[in-house]
Chains A and B, each alone.
Chain A
Amino acid sequence: MGRAQYTIRRVLQAIPVLLGVVTITYFLMEAMPGDPVSIMLGPSPSAQQAAAIRAKYGLDQPLWLRYLNYLWDVVQLDLGTSLYYEVPVTQKILERMPVTILLLVSSFTFAIVTSVPLGIISAQRRNKPTDHVARVVALLGVSTPSFWIGLVLIIVFAYQVSWFPATNLVLPWASPAEVGVDSQLDVLVTSLHHLVLPTISLGTLQMAALTRIERSSMLEVLGEEYVKLARAYGVKETTILRKHAFRNAQLPLITLLGLQLTSAIGGAVLTETVFSINGMGTLIITAINNQDFALVVGTTLVLGLVFVVGVIITDLSYAYIDPRVTFEDAD
């Protein structure tokens, strides 16, 4: 089976997963206590008002019909209207999603860029001081909650020494006028400056976990027979690391990256709260607090989609790096 075929198959396999995500979220939300109508209308609304609202949002129909209607709407990319914001859910998501993606991308970039060299150095100097330091840092990193890191970073770097801002995240695509600077480049610089603390806060966990995996998989690969063979044919140690061992050692890392997307999405909710960032995380929390049914289901569905896309990208990069993946699937 070729890579193209494999890609198509993986994408098609995502459809039932997404269907599952919508269904589960939909029924979980249904099962939640509390009546959205009473929240909208405040205490003791008139029966007439309530009935009108129910009819407007289709809440007077039986559950199965509402579910099927919702599915049909989702297929048409209509996620309903937010009760709280009174705008289409898609509009709200389109507004917030890029912010969260920005946060995820920057924290994953930070994690990968630091963990890969750290893990390799650690593996190369196994059981030497550098390795021990790297391992302690990694252990601290995986065992410290991201919101706590965020709070400490804010206290130290935002309030005590004021090196980095802790609130009012500037987005790189904002216009210079909005931000009050001269050029788009200045916007970008300001934005990066703002992103430092949230990125470290969210990325530390991934960085630590990735460093550990990178170290152990590098060690494993360096013990492989083909690495010994390269050495026996006079290949330089640096070339062995860079070429013969590197690619294989990234496979477990990629798997972990895919899995970490879930914890990172969870972490983003907390990080956004700590740094008052208006992303998907704060949107979900607002939605839940206000029993905004359509918004909760819509945001969950979209985050589920992000996760599924992440897993597909993981699998595809795996297949791209390791030629055995598509091959074995064909058997």
Chain B
Amino acid sequence: MSEPLLTVENLKTQFFTEEGTVRAVDGVNFEVNEGELVGLVGESGAGKSVAAQSIMRLVEEPGRIVDGTVTFDGKKLVDIEETPDGRMEESDEMLSNREMREQVRGREIAIVFQDPMESLNPVFKVGAQLREFIELNRGVNESEAKTIAVDMLREVGIPEPEARYDDYPHEFSGGMRQRVLIAMALACEPRLIIADEPTTALDVTVEGQILDLVSDLQERYDTAFLWVTHDMGVVAEICDRVNVMYLGEVIEEAEVDDLFHDTKHPYTEALLRSMPRPDRSVESLDPIKGVMPEAINPPSGCRFHTRCPEAREACKEFHPEYQDVSDADEAPHAVSCIKYERVGYEDSDPLQTEATGAFAGGLADMRGDDDGRDPAGVPGGEADE
């Protein structure tokens, strides 16, 4: 296969806060091919938005990309290397801020944010906002940009686009605004659109309409999408391939069918079990136990071990290797779980946690558990291997 359109390797983004360093994205790897619709899924706080913004280098203070490489069509959007004296530095190949702005943002990669109510400037007319970005990224004049904008509004299903062009954002409903934002992204003709939970703020019917619209437009325009969501149902509906994120790491990656029918990672399994489905009653839903730990001080070993139903003692010690576990004749299927490694999972005792069902003691037990892992947790997962 040819080179992927977007390759993210070992991306690390951290926030340097007063409470400590938040390891929001901590060594993430994934790819998006030309014209492909790739999902990035995980619970809230997993680091999906930070990962998405890191690709476009939009992370703001106190956040910083501290390591990794992001390659888009041969260009290094991010390229941080270790110098001989051990400092992390931007390589010469990495695009300058100006190059990012002039060549990449909007032109090659466009983004749609989660909240359609906040994404449009309330004091400008919708058409003017569309036109500005189109002029900037397509290099057309004002009237051409207007034509493109009106056509695109029609494409995304805005009735009477000529009239709506002169309306203010508050005169649109949430769903209509999200259509406008999708039109905005498509109108700039980027090769990749990053959609950061664009339907999360919408109600289910509207969400369905938007997903149908995107599937349809994606085929017609052949734009690649990185679709960020916390909803496995959305993934099932539109994605070709999925990356599952947990606490700053991608822990499983597979084609959609494989992920749903040949689930490898216990976290993915748990996510799928917690997902409402037509063939399941609400009572049979099985939410994931516990809450995701803070990214400021992630658990040692496998980060999911505090909540994993299959966790064993070894999971606390070994940071799993992210590796392809598919057979040679199958599509790649990567996972990061020591069940698939030879580090002694089978011979290890089950961990005593609420999630494994072996949890007997009270809070004291959990605290004991915590104390045991804290010293190892500070330097981060890799140190444990």
Seen from chain A, the residues whose Cβ lies within 8 Å of a Cβ on chain B are 224-226, 228-236, 244, 247-248, 321-324, 327
Contacts and interface: CB of A to CB of B under 8 A. Distances in A.
Nearest to B113: A225
Nearest to A233: B106
Given A323-B168, A324-B170, A233 B122 contact: no
A226 B118 contact: yes
> For this complex, into which size category does the number of interface residues on chain B fall?
20 to 34
Count chain B CB atoms within 10 A of each CB in A226, A233, A322, A323 and give the residue with the most. Answer: A233
15 contacts: A225-B118, A226-B122, A229-B111, A229-B119, A230-B133, A232-B56, A232-B58, A232-B110, A233-B105, A233-B184, A234-B102, A234-B105, A235-B136, A324-B168, A327-B168
A326 B105 CA distance: 35
B123 A327 contact: no
Nearest to B61: A126
Contacts of B133: 230, 233-235
Q: Does more than half of chain A's interface fall in helix, strand or loop, or is it mixed? A: helix
A248 B123 contact: yes
In the A-B complex, list the 3 residue pairs whose CB atoms are closest, starting with the nearest: A233-B106, A225-B118, A234-B105
Contacts of B184: 233
Contacts of A248: 121-123
B54 interface: no
A234 to B, nearest CB: 4
B56 A327 contact: no
B382 interface: no
B107 interface: yes
B73 interface: no
Contacts of A230: 121, 133
B137 interface: yes
A320 B345 CA distance: 68
Contact of B137 (A229, A234, A323): A234
A233 B190 CA distance: 10
A323 B113 contact: no
Contact of B170 (A233, A236, A323): A323
A327 B101 contact: no
Interface string B96-114: 0000011011110011010
A92 B123 CA distance: 44
A234 B113 CA distance: 15
Contact of B101 (A225, A228, A236, A247): A236
Contacts of A327: 168, 170-171
Contacts of B181: 229
A233 B109 CA distance: 8
Contacts of B111: 229, 232
B136 A225 contact: no
A329 to B, nearest CB: 12
B136 A322 contact: no
A226 B117 CA distance: 9
B66 interface: no
Given A228-B113, A231-B58, A234-B101, A323 B122 contact: yes
Nearest to A236: B101
A244 B136 CA distance: 14
B118 A224 contact: yes
B110 A323 contact: no
Contacts of B119: 225-226, 229
B188 interface: yes
B188 A233 contact: yes
Contacts of B188: 233
A94 B101 CA distance: 58
B105 A231 contact: yes
A114 to B, nearest CB: 24
